[in-house]
Structure 1
Amino acid sequence: MPVSLRRLNAVNAGQLEDLAEVLHDCVHGGASVSFMLPFSLDEARAFWRGVAEGVARGERALVVAEVDGRLRGTVQLVLAQPPNQPHRADLAKMLVHRQARRLGLGALLLAEAERLARAEGKTLLVLDTASPEAERLYTRGGWVPAGVVPGYALLPQGGLCDTRYFYKALA
């Protein structure tokens, strides 16, 4: 199955639809990524329109993974940071459609985000996750757990979940 990664510097209508589908699928699959059920494709589109605006302003880097020519995963780097943190970026919204899981997309997206962060002059990345599966991916990738905040967020169907913070110093 051919997999390709690329950075989007703008988001066209087709990509917006695919990104919305990935986000919609992840939320409906139980991912705690800021949204609650019920969650519509219109809400997912609105989120990605906002991301696209941040990409256009250079505040965010958006990487997508395509499988057989179809967008199935994504990750963002929040590049715009306060004046005292120009060396840092936040890794955000690492999402892989449930139909494309177990293909290694998460590891590929993570490696590409790290490569891109280095190219942008970043030396420190941080992220948070409520997913034990994602925690294993980050740990395998050399990320360092920094602590857990109990009851930090709600799961999409309701109920509190803990969030673990990770960081990675880039060489």
Structure 2
Amino acid sequence: MNAKVKIEQLTSLRDHINELSDLLVQVVDDGASIGFLPPVKRSEAIDYWDGALNPDVILFVAKLQGEIVGSVQLHVCSKQNGGHRAEIAKLMTHTGYRRNGVGRSLMLEAEKRAKQEGRTLLVLDTREGDPSNSLYTSLGYIQAGKIPDYAKSANGEYHPTIFYYKNKIK
């Protein structure tokens, strides 16, 4: 990647909902397992993003030359017994920019923010066999377990998901 990716936190989606919706449609249609099945209608993506931000969700985007090429969410737990933990959710990288550090940069920014928020435990899940498994283990996430038949694919098959955690965030 020639240019440096810039990570930003978004507190409003008004000016970004179209780009984020295009990103969601593109990654799901390419096979990403992030809660949607292809083909995703653009209206579904817009509806999703329209309700995505709330006080417990911190959204980061990766921009390259002003264009959104990735995103990740940090869901901070608001339960009394969970003030030390957060969940990483919906890591997305545009297919044209994968394997160039976009996902890693987003994850590192989410971890940095988690630490600032006093979160020492991060959890996430991803479909078994997806490339994201390698990213998470390379960042020090530990496999906690696997649930069979967790996510359905477009062809009707069911796939296991792997749950990961990272404790004592540095």
Q: Would the aligned equivalents of 1:31 and 1:155 in 2 still touch at CA under 8 Å?
A: no
Q: Would the aligned equivalents of 1:16 and 1:45 in 2 still touch at CA under 8 Å?
A: yes
Identity of aligned residues (%): 36
After TM superposition, the structure 1 stretch with the greater mean CA deviation from structure 2, 96-105 or 79-88, is 79-88
Is residue 72 of structure 1 aligned with residue 74 of structure 2? no
Q: Would the aligned equivalents of 1:79 and 1:89 in 2 still touch at CA under 8 Å?
A: yes
RMSD: 1.2
Q: Would the aligned equivalents of 2:25 and 2:39 in 1 still touch at CA under 8 Å?
A: no
Alignment of 1:1-171 (within 5 A): 1-13=3-15, 15-52=16-53, 54=54, 58-130=55-127, 131-169=129-167, 170-171=169-170
TM-score, reference length from structure 1: 0.92
Q: Would the aligned equivalents of 2:152 and 2:159 in 1 still touch at CA under 8 Å?
A: yes
Q: Which gives a bigger RCO, structure 1 or 2 (Cα 8 Å, sep 6+)?
A: 1
Paired amino acid for 2:26: D
Higher helix share: 1
Superposition deviation, residue 9 in structure 1: 1.5
Deviations 1:12-67 (A, max 9, x none): 23x11111111101110111111123311110111011113x1xxx2100000001
Q: Would the aligned equivalents of 2:76 and 2:86 in 1 still touch at CA under 8 Å?
A: yes
- Gaps spanning 5+ residues in structure 1: where? none
The 3-state SS of whatever aligns with 1:139 is helix
- Gaps spanning 5+ residues in structure 2: where? none
The 3-state SS of whatever aligns with 2:80 is coil
Q: Would the aligned equivalents of 1:75 and 1:91 in 2 still touch at CA under 8 Å?
A: yes
Superposition deviation, residue 140 in structure 1: 0.4
The 3-state SS of whatever aligns with 2:165 is strand
How many residues were matched structurally?
166
* Moved segments of 4+, more than 6 Å: none
Deviations 1:64-95 (A, max 9, x none): 00011100100001113322111100100000
